Structure formats: C-alpha cells, structure tokens
Chains A and B, each alone.
Chain A
C-alpha cells in the first residue's frame, strides 16, 4: 500500500464499486461504495496503480443503456476521526492504493461483477464488487497492461507474470533477437491475439518463437510433455473455431483461410482479345473472372460498365449495340419529356410527385459536392444528375425516389458523362439493389439478418458478442449495405469495388462477406474495448475513409472459400450465398435466430456463470501455475 500524494494520471475509472474485503488498515471502509481507478504515475518511473476511493457522490449509470448517468448528490455519512493527524491523513487513510507489481494474481467472480486481487502472500489485497455493469472493461485493460495467463485449473483466475522471472527474461531476449516485437506489451498481445486471430501474422511470430525454443543451444531443455503441449496448441489454433454455446463448447472444423491476392485490372489488350470480329465477347466467364480478380482499367470502364450493368447484353455484337443505343436514347427522352411537360396545375394537384421532386432537389444539392465534377453553384452536372433521377421516377413510378439513389448514380454519371447512357446504367444498378429501397425496408432487414447469419457461421464469438451488446440487429451496418460502401470509400475505390461486385462472382451476396471481413478485422477493437451499442455504431461509422478496399475483397474471398469448404455448411448459409442446397434435411443449426426476434432471453440464459466466490489460492499454487505456463510458452 502506498499513500495518495503522488501525481497520477487516470487511465480508467469505474464508479459504484463496493469494497468487499480490504487489509486491516482499511477495514472501516469495507462495504462502502467508491470509485475504482487505474492510474499511472506522472513520475519517470511510470508506475501503475489500482486505487479505490470512497465516494461522496455516487454516480449511477443505467445498466442496460450505459448511455446516461444520474448523479446522486446525497452526502455520505462523514466519518469523524479524532486526535492529531497530518493534514492529508483523511485522504490517505480513505484511499486504497496498490502498485501493479504487488498484484500476483486476480480472480473474477460472480458473473464478472466481482474482482479479487492477490499479492501472492497467502492473503488477498482487496475484493471489489461492481454495483453497475461489470469488470469486463477493467479486465480488458489489465489484460493489455499486464502479462497474464488464465489458470488452467480455474478459468476465472488470472496469473500475473513477473518480469523478473527467469524464463521471461529469456523469452524477451529471444523476441529481441528475432526482431519481432521489442515492447513487452505488444509481445504479449501477440500471444493473446493468437487465439482469436489464428490465421494472421501473429501466428507467424509464434512460429518463429517455437523455432527459437527448439533451436537455441543455450535454451535449457524442454521436457517432452511441454513440447507436446506446444505442438498441440499450434495445431489447435490452426484450423478450428470454437462455437461458444453456454457452458459447453462445440468445436467445428473450418478449413484454413486461403489468401487471394488481387490481380491487375482488366487491360485494353485483354478486353480486345476477347472480342471477335463482330465485336461479340467470346468467353464471358473468363472476362468476368478477370474483372472480379482485378477490376477494370479506368480508360476501359465506360465501355465495360455498360455490360456489367446490363445495358449491353453480353451476347451482343457491335451492330446490335449501335441499334440499341438509338432506341434506348429515344426511350429515355420520351420519359424525360413526360415530366418536363408537366404543367404547374398538374404539379399542384399531384402531391406525391411534388414530394419526390423536392427530395431529389435536396439530395442533388448534397451529392458529392466536394468532387470537382459536382462542385460549385449552377454546375451543369448537378442538373443532369437531377434530370436522370426525375426521369427514373417516370421509369419506375412504384419506387419513385429514395435517399441513397443519388449516391448510386453519382459515380456512374461522373464516369460516363452521357445522360442517356448513365440513365440506363443506373437502371441496371438499381435492378441489382432494388430491394434496398423497399417501402417497408424489408430488403434491408433481410440483408442485415443474412449478414448476422453469415457472421454467426464464420465468427460465432463476434456474433455472440454483438447479440449480448444490443447490436444483434446489425443496424450499424445499414449505411454500408444501402449504398454499397459509397459513403465509406473514395470515388476511385468505390468504382473499383462496385465493378468487382457487379460480376456477381464468386457467389450471391458477396458484399455481405465483405461486411463480415471488415467486422472480423474490427473484432479485437470492439471486444477488447468492451464496446456497447453506442460505441459500436460510432466505431463503425468512423471507419469511413479508413477501409482498404483491396484488403477487404481479398479477405472476403478467403472467407467465401472457407465457408464453401466447411463440412458443416448449413442450408441457411447456402441459401444466402446461392449455393446448391443439401438434399437431406439434416442441417446443423436447427433455428437460426433472426436478429429481429427478441434475443435477450436467450442470451441471458446462455451466459456462463460462476458462483464460487471465496476461493483461496495458496501462494505455492500460484507459483506452480506460473512456472507451468511459462515453460509451456
């Protein structure tokens, strides 16, 4: 224990923390509510502390929402101290503070609502009870700051490694020699991430360490049992995902994820090579595959997009296309005239039309105005954007205009520049995504639900996390899906992304797998920071401008093949991706819960719980665990 006079910076604080057990010096504060702080000394030593102070004011936050807090200003009974004490005595005696180095282990209990710290000397430092929320955030931070591992006997007990422990110095040294990670905190995150990111670069780092462990001559002998452990753990991480289902675990084999590097875009030569003397494309599949793999080289886009967007039939000859252009142009101007000729009276008597017209006007003024092509007042391109959308109302009365449509049209017009061509290409794009604009949003809800199904298959841990954090409805992906990442990517990237998706390869709803790929990438951030409903939305919204389109596509394709080759592939997943259904009716997941069903009851009942509260851990036991774990690593 130290006193409170040192200057500290607060890293984390949690209100409403009940002191359940304390050293004798602080026994008067047992059963008092206070605030738990995690702080770092501002001195050069950068020591970190756990600190608890009784509150005069208690702040209570809504357990469910965590979105707002009420301050209760009722004063605590002040405890009077008699006698002559130093000026800061009151503060000093009140607060409990201990150095990170004192913590040898800690244990989480009572559904994460209690945390006990042990000093490794037979007694416990403190026990804290969380009145609101739980210790998950604190735990996540401790995991980041301390080198810990879970006890093999008690999964709620965390053993803290001592930096002075010989095996650890050795390991640190080996990392330094290998030039992998210098800072010990990142070093440890490598090990921790291993479990969640078995296929990623961390694995490689681990492989290097095992090399070192085996080959380094000065390394002391590792007995055979540990070697076995080492090997087993690697192969386990290699190709299994764990479906957590409450207290038991189902381990389903998912094939290893492969890497699918992006290729160069379809070139003019490649394209020309595929056209026969009549200008007909000989091998459509092969062209589409090239586009899927690398997109289309920019100067070729205005031609190829007309095929991808079903304006030009893939089977047409050059002559067919010339004929088509003439008729489509007539058709367009005919429709355009229909609204152009609308009289003032007609308009006044047609409120639906007026409303659509005004919506378009408002959106056109707010579409990609930062791009040169649409910048400035009285920009002619804005007028064209407006006219195409107005004509689309005439083309599809039932749908009319829905927000988001101007986003879909903007890159097309910017590329093609021609009003007629842009209109028909836009029609083609709309046909692909028309359900995004359903009047009752049924199409969007289906997609969000399908996204959840896919995520639950590929990454059950993350899906489960979202379910238990009010986010199982996947609403935070709404913008991604509605306009196919238009708001997240630059104009150049969105063009590339769309042309790849328009091929319809390698499966139906591939864009949902792109979403899965991004979510999986963000999984660590979301779970380790214990993001709730609000933070998840913010985090996802803030990805805008930060996504690497090529990496996303690459990863999504890897996920596709991983799903495809899984032997427990269920019909509901097959259906979403347009794969042939199983003949037999023995699908694995009997009832995939839709995110639109109320999932609270289900998730509550499957929460693993622990009721064993006061487990005493003897210091020997901790030391034993520590040595086992360190040699295991």
Chain B
C-alpha cells in the first residue's frame, strides 16, 4: 500500500504551527456584534436556594439580561433531570445559578458579582457508596418522574438512576468450581478532562427563526438534536458549526455550553451571545470524569483458571445523569478484563451524588472498571502464587469464547490478547523479574495489566461522507468527524488516496463541520471515527470510481470493466496510455464539437452500525458494539522505600490495532492516551471537602503532567484485522489509556508490599495504606 500505514503529516499542520488555526472563541475575538454571557455558580454542593436578588446587578451599565432558572425546560441526554440554571436547589459545587448577558465580559462579570443569593445548606451525598445507604439524603426527590429513554429504570426514592445487570452462567456452580477466591474494594473520586481549550459556544437566533450555534463540541449533530428537543424548534432550523476543537477526550461530547448560549441569545432578542467558560468553570461547572466505587470477588481453580466473578460497580455520576447511565452500562458490558469467565454476575449502577456531573472520558468507563478488575487479577495471582501475566494469559479471551454480554467471539470481532501479552512480556523483559534492587532505598518494579474495549454507542449510529471534484481533478473530502486532535480527517484522506491510487496532496479536507452541509457523523467519540466515517468514505470512493469510469467508457467507447484508475487518470487496463485525466471529466466532458456529457462528479457514502442489538434488561445479553480491541501494558517504576515517592521510568504498550493506518499519528494517540492515563492514575482527582466542595478547580492545584515528567514510551502494534473495518483497522484513540491505572496500581502494590486500591496513587496514599493511617 502506498499511503496507508505511512506517517502522513496532518492536513491542518501548517495552520497549527503558525497560530492561524481557528478554534471557536478565536472566530469571535473582538467581534462587537457579540454579547457576552457570564455565570454565577454555586459555592455549595447541596443547598436550597432561598432567594436570588438581581437588583444591584441590573444597575451595572451595559447589562442586557439576567437569567435565572424558572421557566426553562429540563435537559439531559438520557434522563431529563437537569435545569440548565438551578431552580429551588443546587446539587453540586459550581452549578449555574444565574447567567448575565452584557456588552463586554468585564461588565458581565462585574454584574455577576452583584447578584445576591441566599442558600440553606442541605446534607451532602459525598460518594456513591454513601448515596446508596439506607436513609441517604436524596439528590433528586422524584427521580422516577423525569422524562427518560425507555430502557432506563431509576429506583424511586433513591439515588440510583439505573441498574445494569450482567447474568452469565450460574454463580453457584461458579463458586463450587472455585478452589481459591479473593474479594476486594476499589475506588476513586471524579476528576477532569482538562482539555486546553475551555468550552465555548456562540448562539444567534436569526430573524427567520434559524438558530445558529458555533461550538467547541465533539457532537455538533447531537447539539442540533437536543436543542431542537429541549426548546421545541424544528431540527432543520438549527445549524451547528464546529471548527477545530482544542482537545475533547470525551468531555466535549456532552451538550452544555450550547444550551446556555441559546438561552442567553433568546433573552436578548436573538442577538449573538458567546459563553466562554473560565478554566475553573470548565473543570467543575461543565461535565467531568466519572468516579467509581467497586467491589469484586473472583473465584478460580488452584491452577488459575477463572471460574466466577461477582462484581458491583457504583458509578459516581454526580448531580445529574447526562451520560452516567450509559457510562455505567458500558462498564457492565466489559465488566471484566479480557478473560473467558463462565460465570459472571455484575450489577453496574449509575448513582447520583452531590458532585460535578460526569460526561464520557476517553475510554468510556473502561480504564475505570479495568483499574478495579485488573487490580483484582493481581490480588488473585498473589493468592495463587502465580505470575500475574501468566494468570492473564491462561484466561485470555479469544475466538469461540463468550463475552459478559454473551457475544460469541470470532477471529474478526476481537483482537489477539495472547499475542499482546507475549509481546509486552518480551519488550519489558518481564521474565527477568518484577523487582530489582537499585540501592537501599530505591527498587525498580514492574506492574502489568491487560485491556479490552468495545464501544457501546447506539445501535443505529450513522456516518456519512461526500466527495466533490474541483475542475483540476482534485477532490474535496467532507465528513462529519470533528477534528479534535486525533488526525482522523487526515487518515480519511489517506484512505481515499489509497483507494483512488492518487496523490494525497490532491485531496482537500474540509476541517470544520456544519450540520447543514456536512453529512452526519453521530459523535466524534469511542474511537469509531476511522471505522464508521471510513466505511462511509470508501462507499463514496466507490461511487466516484463508478461515475468516473462510466463517463470515460462513453468517451473511449470502451466497457466500464475494462477501465482502471490511478494517478488521477482513468485508463484502459490493456493500454494505460489511453485514458482521460480527472480534470477532463470531473466537471463533465466536452467533445471537440462542444457537445458535453456528465457534470460535476459528486460521490456519496454512508454507514450505519450493523447487527448491533439492545441489551436484555435481566441478563445484559446482546451485541453491544462492532469489535473488541485488546492490548497489554507494563509500567516500570522506581520506588523509594523510605518516603514512598516514585518515578515512572518506562511504559510499555502493545495494542492490537487491526491495521496501522498512520504510524506516527497512531503512536501519538497511544502515548498521549497513556500520558493521560498516567495522570489519572498517579495525581489527578478532585479533592472534596465535607460539604462536597471541590478544593482544587485550577491547573495549579489540579496539576496535569508537564513537560519532562513523562516516562519513556515503548509502543508496539499487533495487527489482527477487523474484517468489517476499512483496511481492517481497530480503534486506537483510547486504548493506550485503559490499562495504565491498573498497571501502575499493580506495580506500586508490589513495590510497597501492600494492596493499593484507590486512585490517584500519590505517596500519601501509599504511606496511609502501609502504615494504616
């Protein structure tokens, strides 16, 4: 192959190194037509709103509107439980209490500071475990009354918005076959995505009722759908634009700032209003990364064959549901690691707490449940006195086996777990020992974890692609995938160049998405861009090939199947020197006498997921997604036995990606995801006080990994093709993150000789666990 697999430079590269790349806020900088929305947010996590007094705020010159919560519809993608601006009570620290629209952001901010709100504090639900206790305060008093998707079943008078069940095999039998059992609890609090671009949206309502929204979103088509549903506007009258997005990692797949921008615009007679979140708001007011309390019991035979797993996941969805139900469901679907286990019982709950609410986060619940499950695997290995990678290897799931939702695996719909384990073992010199003594303080240890992921996106998710030709024979590629940094649109151009056997420089990629002229791509999430958009694109490519050949066949008086295509020419297979260049036919062909045939070549292609099913309510049985990508990771750490500090030295990742489409881009996705996983594992968490307030909503106190704090990355790819996917490629955008928290937990547990079951793994946690503080 000529283009596929090559490290083609991303199409928007020049713009990104010259400051010319435009993100949402950039497009409106200095625009005097745009008003500015600023938020007043709640200082408490759970409190009754006694009064909101806006009198003083109105006195600030330049204020155009002050909006409070009454009269607005409830919102929520799966359960409509969230007032866009709080009414009666606030349910999390940072919740929007009022929205001021003014001529200038400074004026808006000043007015915000003059709004007076009186609160009565309410008892706080500060963890999902607390939330499910008998007599726990209720975050939502009447959860069963909310409008919701059909398959969601909240438990009345509780904090549980949904229970997802996996029932596979027979637990009694599973335990009776088990000679060894272990049981343990795991937990971590919510944290944040912290994309470098904070969320921003601008909304304008035109005189003819059309609603224009420009937003930094991973889901512009969902914005259109939801704004239409919430505010009862014809869906075709909403146009959503998304330019380049400055990082998403799942966080920008939720619809949030767009709702505020719409409300604000409506309040000022449709004028354009921008809502740009501050860093602090972007961390706690807008959706964050889910937390989890987990309980796992495993049973195995003496020689290590897993027989039974009983699992409970309590997902900390925070104050509002948004995607929490779906997140907890995905956690149930892949509730174990990539192992064949005959008897599985899992209850995965979405739970309300008084924490910031959760949106998807890179990996969609997988790094989270894998932390718990893969830690449990190491605990089991210790109990069995067995090498933890060996334990994983002898239980690895593969073709012929049944997943927790009872999908029968084959050679296409799952990657090769065993090969990933074997490669990572070799690369990390695993067999040379897990512990190495450096000096009397420092030891070098290794920890491992396996990973798998399917994407549980709706079974009817769609993607489309359009190709239009320019008169010089070059092609415009239009797809609904948002360029959030993954380089997917460049990969699509590579696929097209490969299929048409042409130079990639002759393919122009439209970077921005506009829901009126771009074919829909469900959401740019779940590592499904190359799969779904790629399938649509290949169909569009076939469409243009047919059109190009037909017109050429007419001109050359040949048969269509005697023609071939390459280097922007259509030619006779028999004699390639006879043919036409694209530029002669891309906008119709003109005979010497002026007669013309054809017209602009326009190709179309679409794709909808195939043969997915809903999951059975009682057993979880069903086909949740197209394929499981798998991998294995090893973390190598230098641990100081005196003060419990440590340094991650090396990070080995072996992933089965089906097919490498762009080597450097794929590697960058893996190391970037691994870096994010390392941050989640080792340092990042919201710190809550007893009142449920977040104490560190700033990049200074919530400190991401900085330059030179990264380990050495060793990445290798295995290629077991996914037959349905373009060129056989599997997802690669999230997988590098998934095993890291568990692998680090396993390594440090070995190093400190104590079971570390919480995140983040800071020295203080190790010290407390070790010394029982």
**B and A form one assembly:** no
